[in-house]
Structure 1
Amino acid sequence: MHLRVTFVAAARCSSLLAERFEDDRPLDQAGWDEVQRAAHELVPLAAAELRYCSPTPRSRATGDALGYAPLAQPALRDCDMGRWRGFTLGEAMAREPELVDTWLADPRSTPHGGESLMAFISRVGGWLDTRPASDGGRIVAVAEPSVLRAALVYALKAPPSTYWSIDVRPLSTVTVSGHTGRWHLRLDGTRQ
Structure 2
Amino acid sequence: MLVTLIAAARGSTVFDTRFGDDRPLDTAGWQAVERAVPTLLPLAAAELRYCSPSPCSRQTGDALGLSPLAQPALRDCDMGRWQGLTLTEVTAREPRAVDVWLADPRSAPHGGEPLLSFVSRVGRWLDTRPVEGDGRVVAVTEPSVIRATMLYALKAPPQSYWRTEVHPLSVVSLSGRPGRWSLRLG
**Pairing 1:13–2:11 present:** yes
For structure 2, the residue ranges without an aligned partner over 5 or more in a row are: none
Moved over 6 A (4+): none
Q: What is the SS of the residue equivalent to 1:125?
A: helix
Aligned length: 186
Corresponding residue for 1:151? 149
Quote the Cα distance in structure 2 between the aligned partners of 1:133 and 1:181: 14
Q: TM-score, normalised by structure 1?
A: 0.96
Within the candidate set 90, 115, 118, 1:117 is matched to: 115
Quote the Cα distance in structure 2 between the aligned partners of 1:66 and 1:88: 28
Quote the Cα distance in structure 2 between the aligned partners of 1:183 and 1:141: 16
Q: What is the SS of the residue equivalent to 2:181?
A: strand
Corresponding residue for 1:61? 59
Q: State the AA in 1 paired with 2:55.
A: P
Post-superposition CA distance 1:61-108 (Å, at most 9, x none): 000000000000000000000000000110110100000000000000
How much has 1:20 moved relative to structure 2? 0.4
Q: State the AA in 2 paired with 1:122.
A: S
How much has 1:17 moved relative to structure 2? 1.1
**Pairing 1:70–2:68 present:** yes
Corresponding residue for 1:46? 44
Quote the Cα distance in structure 1 between the aligned partners of 2:35 and 2:164: 24
For structure 1, the residue ranges without an aligned partner over 5 or more in a row are: none
How much has 1:36 moved relative to structure 2? 0.6
How much has 1:165 moved relative to structure 2? 0.7
Q: What is the SS of the residue equivalent to 1:178?
A: strand
Corresponding residue for 1:160? 158
Q: State the AA in 2 paired with 1:90.
A: T
How much has 1:133 moved relative to structure 2? 2.9
What is the aligned-residue RMSD (CA, Å)? 0.5
Within the candidate set 168, 171, 185, 1:170 is matched to: 168
Q: State the AA in 1 paired with 2:165.
A: D
Q: What is the SS of the residue equivalent to 2:19?
A: coil
Post-superposition CA distance 1:106-159 (Å, at most 9, x none): 000010000000000000000000000311000000000000000000000000
Quote the Cα distance in structure 1 between the aligned partners of 2:14 and 2:136: 30
**Pairing 1:89–2:87 present:** yes
Q: TM-score, normalised by structure 2?
A: 0.99
Quote the Cα distance in structure 2 between the aligned partners of 1:63 and 1:138: 16
Corresponding residue for 1:27? 25
